[in-house]
Amino acid sequence: MTILNKTNWTLVSFILNGVPGLEDIHMWISFPFFSMYIVAMVGNCGLLYLIYYEDSLHRPMYYFLAMLSLTDIVMCSSTIPKALCIFWFHLKDIGFNECLLQMFFIHTFTGMESGVLMLMALDRYVAICYPLRYSTILTNPVIAKAGLVTFLRGVLLIIPFTFLTKRLSYCRGNIIPHTYCDHMSVAKLSCGNVKVNAIYGLMVALLIGGFDILCITISYTMILRAVVSLSSADARQKAFSTCTAHICAIVFSYSPAFFSFFSHRFGGHTIPPSCHIIVANIYLLLPPTMNPIVYGVKTKQIRDRVIRILSGSKDIKSHGI
């Protein structure tokens, strides 16, 4: 295959090198990746099944959870199958356009993940601070519009990544030291000026991540004020318990993201590249794996339905709580 078109220095394909420095143990690394991917797919598909068929789960909180599950399925499926092909079969080639497409899906749906977590925080705020108006504020059309706006926000902000990357000329080889096509990992292979790419990437991170974290912080500040003002200890505990699963989802999602962000900028050469690559994959794989488990354990309605199905009950579809 021709890798480089010498007339305009446009790459035809890239080589994804996996985890640099750990090539000898790629097979061992693949086992936790594969196990987590299977758990993520089964767990999120199971959640979607329950939410679709259970009448008692046709509520705003679970609609947002369904959005999160769909996002998680796409997010981890954009990277893990290719990573496993690298680890198991040494299939490292990826076409230039395929690389751009993978980049688009990864960044769009990581932004979507952050946006859905923000919507879920607003859902908890309305449920706890305005319980009597909960169903009238978060109607099905409002939920659908909120999900659509969150998706379009990601698409419109990420599309420029593909054009900014496609316009570059590449003369520094075609080997990407990663398991997937990350925006800056690809841009660094260019012999042109990538300052615009770096600045725009930082702007998008601030626009999406910064805005969502701010909204989540404000929502939970208001929730905390409302819960503390409750006179009953049981009421306070019940209100806090409805937020536990969502707080866990936030921790699983943002912790690897913060580590990756700050280690790249302040870690210097003290953190090996292999650690950066593994954390980047955990960032895309840990939330899809843990979210169904956390919501299955912490949410009584989901837990009860799962137990009933596993116990062999034929009455799968419920009309009450």
At 78-112, the pLDDT tens digits run 999 999 999 999 999 999 999 999 999 999 999 99
The fraction of the chain above a pLDDT of 90, given in percent, is: 72
Amino acid 313: pLDDT: 59
Per-residue pLDDT band at 196 (split at 50, 70, 90): very high
Per-residue pLDDT band at 224 (split at 50, 70, 90): very high
Amino acid 263: pLDDT: 73
Considering only the top CATH level, what class is 15-306? mainly alpha
Q: Are strands 4-5 and 13-16 parallel, antiparallel or unpaired?
A: unpaired
The fraction of the chain above a pLDDT of 70, given in percent, is: 92
Give the residue extent of every domain in the chain.
Answer: 15-306
Amino acid 84: pLDDT: 97
Beta strand ranges found along the chain (DSSP E):
4-5, 10-11, 13-16, 93-95, 175-176
pTM for the predicted model, two decimal places: 0.92
Whole-number average pLDDT of the chain: 90
Q: How long a stretch of residues is the chain?
A: 321
Q: Which residues contact 76 (CB under 8 A, 6 or more apart)?
A: 37, 40, 41, 284, 285, 288, 289
Residue 15's DSSP bridge partners are 93, 175
Please state whether 90 falls in left (phi above 0), alpha (psi between -120 and 50) or beta: left
Per-residue pLDDT band at 30 (split at 50, 70, 90): very high
At 280-315, the pLDDT tens digits run 999 999 999 999 999 999 998 899 888 888 887 555
Q: Which of 69-73, 120-124, 202-206 has the lowest mean pLDDT?
A: 202-206
